[in-house]
């Protein structure tokens, strides 16, 4: 089995690359989905969030009001640190469960973990066979966030500033995929990556 870490800043095109690799046959695991699962109704993670931040964050259906939680931790470094201390270990546990399931199902599987905060969290310590970084310049990413996500340019730049830098991601990268051009150009680079993966050795 080969374990690929796929990272990049917000709106850098990770999902485009991840979906393409999955289309070729890779097993794609999305850290954002695991983060939602980590605080799903009935989960230990949600119980700990409720204990730390209060029952007022629970919606009527028992799910976490993620927007209300975001409003609490936004700009409060201590609260964010507490939240990360709850969620990140749960995400890592869920990720390792998925990897073991993939390994049991197919020892030759290519597993791609799409993880935005690889360099900012303990995800960087996983035994990666390859780290792939999706990269686009900041203004391209701001444009994507404003046009596709409805964010203001100021909010978009602030989100970018709260993540690791391009230099930090490049420092751990085995491969950088430039996503600042057309989608076709990004997919062509991804296809070349897949050829490298299946033709290794």
Residue-level pLDDT at 201: 42
Specify the residue for token string 């690889």: 118
Q: Are residues 181 and 118 in the same domain?
A: yes
Percent of the chain at pLDDT > 70 equals 100
pLDDT in tens, 48-95: 999 999 999 999 999 999 989 988 997 788 999 999 999 999 999 999
Report the distance separating Cα 15 and Cα 36, nearest Å.
17
Residue-level pLDDT at 153: 93
Residue-level pLDDT at 2: 95
Specify the residue for token string 């360099």: 119
Q: Are residues 201 and 119 in the same domain?
A: yes
pLDDT in tens, 122-168: 888 899 999 999 999 999 999 999 998 889 999 899 889 989 999 99
Look up the domain containing 190 and give its range: 1-26+109-201
Q: Are residues 66 and 39 in the same domain?
A: yes
Q: Are residues 44 and 126 in the same domain?
A: no
Please answer whether residues 95 and 34 qualify as being in contact, where contact means their C-beta atoms are separated by less than 8 angstroms.
yes
The CA distances from residue 28 to 77, 101, 103, 158, 168, in Å, are: 31, 13, 13, 29, 24
Classify each residue of 22-56 as buried b or exposed e, where b means 16 or more C-beta atoms within 10 Å of its C-beta.
bebebbbbbbeebbbebbeeebebbebbeeebeee
Q: Are residues 81 and 176 in the same domain?
A: no
């Amino acid at each position: 089995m080969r374990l690929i870490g796929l990272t990049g800043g917000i709106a850098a095109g990770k999902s485009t690359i991840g979906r393409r690799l999955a289309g070729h046959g890779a097993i794609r695991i999305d850290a954002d989905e695991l983060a939602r699962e980590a605080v799903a109704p009935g989960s230990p993670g949600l119980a700990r969030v409720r204990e730390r931040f209060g029952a007022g964050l629970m919606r009527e259906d028992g799910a976490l009001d993620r927007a209300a939680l975001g409003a609490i931790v936004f700009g409060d470094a201590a609260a964010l640190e507490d939240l990360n201390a709850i969620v990140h270990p749960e995400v890592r546990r869920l990720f390792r469960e998925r990897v073991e399931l993939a390994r049991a199902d197919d020892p030759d599987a290519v597993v791609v973990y799409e993880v935005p905060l690889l360099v900012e969290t303990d995800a960087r310590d996983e035994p990666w066979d390859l780290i792939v970084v999706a990269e686009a310049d900041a203004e391209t990413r701001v444009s994507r966030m404003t046009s596709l996500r409805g964010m203001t340019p100021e909010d978009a730049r602030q989100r970018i500033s709260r993540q690791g830098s391009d230099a930090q991601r490049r420092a751990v990268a085995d491969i950088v995929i430039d996503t600042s051009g057309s989608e076709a150009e990004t997919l062509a680079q991804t296809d070349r990556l897949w050829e490298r993966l299946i033709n290794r050795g």
